[in-house]
Structures are given as structure tokens and as C-alpha cells.
Amino acid sequence: MIAAFRERQVSEIYLDYNASTPIDPRVASVMRPLLDGAFANPSAAHASGRAARAIVDRARTQVASLLGSAPRRDRVHERRQ
């Protein structure tokens, strides 16, 4: 079968997305400030942790909205009262 692809000069078909997946440029542009900036544990009670938690919550809401669902809050990550 691979020989058939070579004979027809079909461009490469990548089938190993389980091991490595390219990042969509739109996703990379949204993630860049988070990767380059300050970081914190979103479960921490300090200000940086609360800021990280807000980012995680916003991302969950956005993904849930795309899926037509409601965001689920993990019990482990719920804020301590």
C-alpha cells in the first residue's frame, strides 16, 4: 500500500497523532502569554494561584460552551472557603 502512495506521488499522510500533534497557530497565539509569563498552581490560595485558577476556569467554560455543555468543577480544585 505504501508503494501505491509512492507511485502516485501523494504527499505524506501523517498517522501518528497519538505521539505528536501540531499546535494550531490560533491556539499557540492564545497560549503564548501563559507559557512565557508567570505561572502558579491553580489550587494555591495565594494571588498568583487565584489568577491561574481564573484562567483554568475560563478555559473550562470556553471548552464546555464549544461542546454545548456546562463546565465541571473538579472537587480537588474547588476553592477552599
44 belongs to a structural domain = yes
- Enclosing H/E stretch for 67: none
Q: Is residue 63 classed exposed, middle or buried when 0-12, 13-18 and 19+ CB atoms within 10 A define those classes? A: exposed
CA distance 33 to 16: 28
Range of the domain at 48: 23-81
10 belongs to a structural domain = no
Q: Where residue 78 falls among pLDDT bands split at 50, 70, 90?
A: low
Q: Tell me what pLDDT residue 18 has.
A: 86
Q: Tell me what pLDDT residue 61 has.
A: 93
50 belongs to a structural domain = yes
5 belongs to a structural domain = no
40 belongs to a structural domain = yes
Q: Tell me what pLDDT residue 14 has.
A: 80
How many domains does the structure of the chain reveal? 1
Helices (H), 1-81: 2-8, 25-36, 47-66
36 belongs to a structural domain = yes
Q: Where residue 67 falls among pLDDT bands split at 50, 70, 90?
A: very high
17 belongs to a structural domain = no
69 belongs to a structural domain = yes
